[in-house]
Amino acid sequence: MVRKAVLPVAGWGTRFLPATKSMPKEMLPIIDKPVIQFIVEALAGVGIDNIVFVTGRHKRAIENHFDFHPELEEHLKRAGKEQLLKEVRDIANIINPIFVRQKEQLGLGHAVLTAEPAVGNEPFLVALGDVLIDEEEKELERLLYLFNKLGKSVIALMEVPQEEVSKYGVVKVKELEKGVYLVEDLVEKPAPEEAPSNLAIVGRYVFTPAIFEALKRTKPGKGGEYQLTDAMKLLLEEEVIYAVKVEREVYDTGNPLDYLKTVVNFALRRQDIGEEFKAFLKELLEGKVKV
Ligand code: UTP
C-alpha cells in the first residue's frame, strides 16, 4: 500500500526568475490557490497524507503554507470570515507534512534520493510540483490501482505532439491493454527524429523502494544533474516498470507561457469570475479593449 508521497520542490525555477528569486515556483498562484495546493489536495483525496516535501533554502513559504497561522486565523475569526477561516485551517489539517532539505540542487533524481530516510523501505508516489492534471484524484486512483494490481512501479504518460518531445522524458513501450503499457526504454529530451514514441512522462510516478538503489548508482547526466529518468533506466535492468496514459488534460506551470495558459484556462472555468473574464477576453481579442 502506498502511504507516502514525495514532492520535489527544491529546484531553482530559473525559467520564472525574477519571480522565483525568493519565492518557490510551486507557490505561484493559479488565481488564488498555489499550484502545490492543488496537488496536495489531490493526494489527500486519495488517502495519501504523509507528504515529504524536498525543499531548499529559498522554499520557506511552502512550509508556512501547510502550517497553522494563528494571527491570520484570529483576524478572519474577528472579521466573521468563517468560510475563509475554514479554508485556511483546512490546508494545514489535511496532510502530515514532512520536510527534508536538498542542500544542493543536483537534479530531480538527487531530490528524490534525498527523501529516502523519510520514505524508508516502502513504495511511494512522486508528484512534480509544477504540473497539474484535471480531476487529478481520478488519475492518481488509476495509478495506485495499477500499482496495487501489478506490484511494480507505474508511471503516468501523456501523448504530446511529435515536435514537442524534446521537452520531455519519452518512453518506448509495449501496450498491454488500452492505455496500459510495459516500459521498454526511456530517453530524456530526445530530438523528435530520435524519439521512440510521442508518449511523455507526466510527472506522476509510483515507485517501489528499489528506485533508491538505482538512484544511488546513477551518474550525473545532462547539465551535471542526477536525472530521475536515468535512474529509471537502471531500475529497468532489475524490475519491470509499467505505465498508464492519463485521460485528462495536463497543465505545465513551470514556464511563463504555459503557466499563463493554465491560469486563463482555470479562470474561464471559475463559477465566480469565469463569465466576466470570458467577456473581457472576447472584447480584448476583438480590439475593443485597449492593450
Ligand atoms: P525542473 O527542472 O522543472 O525545475 O525540475 P527547476 O529546476 O526548478 O526549474 P528551471 O528548469 O530552473 O526553470 C522538475 C522538478 O524537480 C524539482 C523542481 O522543484 C521541480 O518541481 N527539482 C529539480 C528539485 O527538487 N531539485 C533539483 O535539484 C532540481
- The closest alpha carbon to 163, from 124, 195, 131, 209, belongs to 195
Q: Are residues 150 and 259 in the same domain?
A: no
Rounded Cα distance between 181 and 96, Å, is 33
Nearest CA to ligand 1 atom 22: 11
> What is the Å distance from ligand 1's center to 47 Cα?
26
Q: Are residues 193 and 267 in the same domain?
A: no
> What is the Å distance from ligand 1's center to 25 Cα?
9
Q: Is 170 in the pocket of ligand 1 (CB under 6 A)?
A: no
Q: Are residues 222 and 287 in the same domain?
A: no
Q: How confident is the model at residue 224 (pLDDT cuts 50, 70, 90)?
A: confident
Domain assignment of residue 72, given as a range: 4-254
Q: How confident is the model at residue 98 (pLDDT cuts 50, 70, 90)?
A: very high
Q: Are residues 180 and 221 in the same domain?
A: yes
Residue 210, CA distances (Å) to 4, 20, 119, 215, 280 in order: 15, 33, 12, 9, 52
Q: Is 234 in the pocket of ligand 1 (CB under 6 A)?
A: no
Q: Is 108 in the pocket of ligand 1 (CB under 6 A)?
A: yes
133 three-state secondary structure: strand
Rounded Cα distance between 287 and 21, Å, is 35
* pLDDT computed for residue 222 by the predictor: 72
Q: Are residues 30 and 164 in the same domain?
A: yes
Rounded Cα distance between 91 and 98, Å, is 14
Q: 166 and 189 in contact (C-beta within 8 Å)?
A: yes
Q: Are residues 228 and 173 in the same domain?
A: yes
Q: Are residues 216 and 287 in the same domain?
A: no
> What is the Å distance from ligand 1's center to 159 Cα?
22
Q: Is 112 in the pocket of ligand 1 (CB under 6 A)?
A: no
Q: Are residues 244 and 272 in the same domain?
A: no
Q: Are residues 94 and 212 in the same domain?
A: yes
Q: Is 155 in the pocket of ligand 1 (CB under 6 A)?
A: no
Q: Are residues 77 and 144 in the same domain?
A: yes
User: Cα 138 to chain center, whole Å?
Assistant: 15
- Is the pLDDT reported for residue 171 higher than 90? yes
Q: Are residues 98 and 230 in the same domain?
A: yes
What is the total count of domains within the chain? 2
Higher pLDDT, 223 or 67: 67
146-153: list long-range contacts, CB under 8 Å, 24+ apart. 146/180, 146/242, 146/244, 147/2, 147/123, 147/206, 148/1, 150/242, 152/208, 152/239, 152/240, 152/241, 152/242, 153/205, 153/206, 153/207, 153/208, 153/210, 153/211, 153/232, 153/235, 153/239, 153/241, 153/242
CATH code of the domain covering residue 9: 3.90.550.10
Q: What is the pLDDT of residues 18-46, one digit of tens each?
A: 999 888 999 999 999 999 999 999 999 99
* pLDDT computed for residue 289 by the predictor: 74
Q: Are residues 173 and 264 in the same domain?
A: no
Record the cell numbers describing residue 157, joined without a space: 504518460
